[in-house]
Amino acid sequence: MDEAISLDERYPAKYWHKLDDGRIQCDLCPRDCKLHEGQRGACFVRGRVEDTMV
């Protein structure tokens, strides 16, 4: 990821849940991306910031 995502400039996402291994999973599309802190999904629209999906 080239630039940091901050919560101040992003809108919290819906349709995700936290996994037992600490990752969060996006439930919006069939790809079911599983993200660690700072990662973005396959769509490059959604990402994980401070234990939430934005």
What is residue 4's predicted lDDT score, i.e. its pLDDT? 63
Chain-centre distance for alpha carbon 3: 15
CA–CA dist 40, 34 (Å, integer): 9
- Residues 28-52 pLDDT 10s: 999 999 999 999 999 999 999 989 9
- Report residue 8 as tokens: 């101040």
pTM, to two decimals: 0.78
Q: In whole angstroms, what is the distance from residue 21 CA to residue 19 CA?
A: 5
The contacts of residue 53 (CB under 8 Å, 6+ apart) are 12, 13, 16, 24, 26, 35, 46, 47
